[in-house]
Amino acid sequence: MTERVRFTGGRAGRASLAWGQRAIWEAMREAGPANAHYFNIWRVLAMPRGRGPYTVDQVLSAVVALVGRHDSLRTRISADQDGRPFQIVSADGWVQTRVQAATEQEAEKAAEGLVLDLAARSFDLAEEWPLRIGLITCDDAVRQVGVVLCHTSADGYAADIVLRDLRQLLLRGSLTRPPSQQLLDLVAEQESGVGRNRSERALAHWEAGYRKIPPTMFPDLVAEPGSPRWSKALLESRALEDAVTIVAARHHMSTATVLLTAATSLIGTIVPHETCAITPIVHNRFRPETRDLVTTLSQLGLFTLTTDPDATLAETLETTQPEAMRAYRHAQYDQLAWDEMVARVSADREVKVYPSCCFNDLRPVDHSGLPDSSPGEDAVRTSVASSRIEWLPGVDHFNCDFCFFVTRQSGILSIGLSADTCRLPQSRIVGLLRAVEELVVESAFRDARPGELEVAP
């Protein structure tokens, strides 16, 4: 069953795309309509305790308030006659919601199935609102809400804001404090002198790196394509969660930086380059103005590492910490100016420069859910046996050869890899994930070197 509810009251306007929006719009266009659903972001919200039960009308009222609260959720994107994208923020429109009944015992599983079904189709950016809602009801009371967001309107951080605001609207009925910034305000800031200066500093960092790094990280086709060609595996590991917490605390850095460095150092053992380049996707939520901003603010940073298989991970972490900070700091820039820089450097080098190798931490920015202390070496090493590999749906065409990501699965830290199987066969995808786990676990208790580990061919 489908419910349709009208939203009104928000402000309206037309604007260019924000920098992060432009980047993901280009990636989705390159992937094509058949594969752009890969970028969809989804979340599931169980009905909060303290109030309720919630009727469908009550939940839809909260959804209407949510859409009115954030410019980005009322935005559609078109292109002008020259192919340049622009967005229209509308003051009113309609939200369509799919409602599905289930038993109490099946509600959680039904919600996951419903949200995955809603996420399996690409958004029509020009005609469709960037938000899909699915409700699971039990005896006419809503038990679960599935939320699917188009990536041009929200990144992972923004999706968590959307879920938080929806939960608070259900509990309180309204939110008195406005968002820290709105999409139209962000675009205006980026087009100002402040924004241009920020972009120019970032692009100077990128250009210096792009003139030195290998043109691409995985230049060789080494195998026949798998099915699908871009295969995706996930390693769920309690041992890695405990070990990376130990290593991060020891070196006074984030677990994301530890995993970024570990993955990059292991890439260095399987590619023919002295320097490895990987582009971490940076959330760019470092300023107060971006605290409650719902949009796609994340952009690529550039992290480089001189490979040394005989260096311990501890030694590498100490030397690369400043480089990681520079990568995070210089991940906000005008995407069009970045494209021009890449074209210019590629022309000067007479080869297209595109590492096609990225790192994406999909966890919430607040990692307070990680344990504060280790259960001990014996327990950590023993728990390696319970780590498991799961194959996730892949795609037949994508615009990046190597996408390493970090997430949480069933409440446990998980790392994953989506890769072109012509360049990294499925056995190597699994081998690299296992090697990252082994390197970090070993490094929590002794000096471990990436050159000591064997990544499957």
Return the ∠ at Cα 143 (arms to 141 and 144), rounded to 5°: 135
pLDDT at 366: 56
Tell me how far CA of residue 382 lies from CA of 179, 240, 378, in angstroms.
46, 12, 6
Give the span between the Cα atoms of 261 and 440, in whole angstroms.
10
Residue 369 has pLDDT above 60, yes or no: no
Residue 178 has pLDDT above 90, yes or no: yes
The helix or strand, by DSSP H or E, that contains position 398, with its residue range, turns out to be none
- Which pLDDT tens digit goes with each residue over 186-234? 999 999 999 999 999 999 999 999 999 999 999 999 999 999 999 999 9
| Edge-to-edge strands, sheet with 85-89 | 13-15, 85-89, 75-79
- Which pLDDT tens digit goes with each residue over 83-97? 999 999 999 999 989
Residue 367 has pLDDT above 60, yes or no: no
Give the rounded percent of residues in the chain with a pLDDT score beyond 90: 87
Q: Is 252 left (phi over 0), alpha (psi -120 to 50) or beta?
A: left
Decide: residue 183, CB within 10 A, 0-12 exposed, 13-18 middle, 19+ buried: buried
Tell me how far CA of residue 189 lies from CA of 6, 83, 199, 281, in angstroms.
31, 24, 12, 21
The helix or strand, by DSSP H or E, that contains position 179, with its residue range, turns out to be none
- Which pLDDT tens digit goes with each residue over 315-360? 999 999 999 999 999 999 999 999 999 999 999 999 999 999 999 9
pLDDT at 3: 85
Least trusted range by pLDDT, from 51-55, 137-141, 381-385, 386-390: 51-55
Model's pTM, two decimal places? 0.89
pLDDT at 371: 55
**Domains by residue range for the chain, with CATH:** 2-187 (3.30.559.10), 193-452 (3.30.559.30)
pLDDT at 368: 43
pLDDT at 4: 87
Query: Is residue 365 very low, low, confident or very high in pLDDT (cuts 50, 70, 90)?
Result: low
Which alpha helices (H) appear in 104-254, and where do they start and end? Answer: 107-119, 156-172, 183-190, 193-210, 238-251
Give the rounded percent of residues in the chain with a pLDDT score beyond 70: 97
Residue 170, classed as helix, strand or coil, is helix
- Which pLDDT tens digit goes with each residue over 248-286? 999 999 999 999 999 999 999 999 999 999 999 999 998
pLDDT at 302: 98
Q: What is the mean pLDDT of residues 147-172?
A: 96
Least trusted range by pLDDT, from 163-172, 332-341, 370-379: 370-379
Could you give phi then psi for residue 417, rounded to 5 degrees? Answer: -145, 125
Query: Is residue 6 very low, low, confident or very high in pLDDT (cuts 50, 70, 90)?
Result: very high
* Mean pLDDT score across all residues of the chain: 94
pLDDT at 373: 63
Nearest to 435 by CA among 448, 420, 424, 447: 448
Residue 235, classed as helix, strand or coil, is strand
What are the structure tokens assigned to 301, written together? 């940073």
Q: Are 417 and 429 in contact (CB under 8 A)?
A: yes
CA atoms within 13 A on the CB side of 130: 35
pLDDT at 397: 86
